[in-house]
Amino acid sequence: MANTLFTSRLGGVSSPPFDSFNLASHVGDEVVAVAKNREILASMIGLPRNQIFFMTQVHSNGVAVIDKDSDPQSAPTADALFTTTPGFALVTLIADCTPLLLKSKSAVAAVHVGRKGLVAEVFEATLKVFNQHGVSNQEITGEIGPSICRDCYEVDLGTYREVVSLNPAAATDESRRCLDVAGGLAARLKSAGIEFWASQLCVRHTPGYFSYRRDEVTGRQAGVVWL
Ligand SMILES: [Zn+2]
């Protein structure tokens, strides 16, 4: 059975502007506070800290496969983590981008899908790894967590047109140039035949979430999945 969790900014020990449940080590927060928050995450999900895996996210389509030989201290450079190992939790960190969790009976993945990841097709790359491990699309379900919404995510016109030409479902209104990344991702899941649930919360205009667009210097919340 697969389990999932989406965190908010509440429940941790970090000081402003990372208050309080910041799980990212690359944003300028105190190392000790992040370590404590990761311990809190471990106790929330009931797994030891050394069975929780993070990644160094670079807006790519890279997928890292985590297994018994993987080192929980080294966060591989990737935008998706995949595992078939029960009791290994995979984490995607976000503060506006769209967290996607994919799960089946025998494998799970945590995916970091922002605008660039949508264009780079990190979801499709992750799906391929499921398929290579003998899991068909029909056996997978998805969860799209809180991210910046279609009313909040304004980009320049060139970027808007590029993303929409590749992902028509990410379109809103060209005069406002706001992208619907979560909507674009949802359309990709639909066309792959994957059933999913999608959060309607916007991290930018909902209190209790980190948003880079709103605050710039801020923390990261997490999507977590494990077998
Ligand atoms: Zn919004």
Residue 162 domain-assigned (yes or no): no
Residue 139 domain-assigned (yes or no): yes
Question: Where residue 1 falls among pLDDT bands split at 50, 70, 90?
Answer: confident
- CATH number, domain with residue 68: 3.60.140.10
Residue 174 domain-assigned (yes or no): no
Residue 183 domain-assigned (yes or no): no
| Tokens matching residue 127 | 């799906």
> Which pLDDT value is given to residue 190?
98
Answer yes or no: are the C-beta atoms of 54 and 91 closer than 8 Å: yes
Q: How far is residue 197's CA from residue 13's CA, in Å, rounded to a whole number?
A: 30
> In terms of Cα–Cα distance, which of 145, 222, 154 is closest to 185?
145
> Which pLDDT value is given to residue 108?
98
pTM of the model: 0.97
H or E element in which residue 111 lies: strand 108-113
Q: What is the 3-state composition of the chain as percent helix, strand, coil, each rounded to the nearest 5?
A: 30, 25, 50
Residue 165 domain-assigned (yes or no): no
Residue 142 domain-assigned (yes or no): yes
pLDDT tens for residues 151-201? 999 999 999 999 999 999 999 999 999 999 999 999 999 999 999 999 999
Q: How far is residue 105's CA from residue 168's CA, in Å, rounded to a whole number?
A: 32
Residue 154 domain-assigned (yes or no): no
Specify the number of domains making up the chain. Answer: 1
Question: Where residue 107 falls among pLDDT bands split at 50, 70, 90?
Answer: very high
Which residues crowd ion ligand 1, with CB under 5 Å? 149, 151-152, 202, 204-205
> In terms of Cα–Cα distance, which of 99, 187, 103 is closest to 139?
103
> Which domain, by its residues, includes 142?
3-148+188-226
Question: Where residue 54 falls among pLDDT bands split at 50, 70, 90?
Answer: very high
C-alpha 114 – ligand 1 centre gap (Å): 15
> Which pLDDT value is given to residue 157?
96
> Which pLDDT value is given to residue 203?
97
Residue 168 domain-assigned (yes or no): no
**Strands laid side by side in the 3-6 sheet:** 3-6, 221-226, 89-94, 52-53
> Which pLDDT value is given to residue 77?
98
C-alpha 110 – ligand 1 centre gap (Å): 23
> Which pLDDT value is given to residue 116?
96
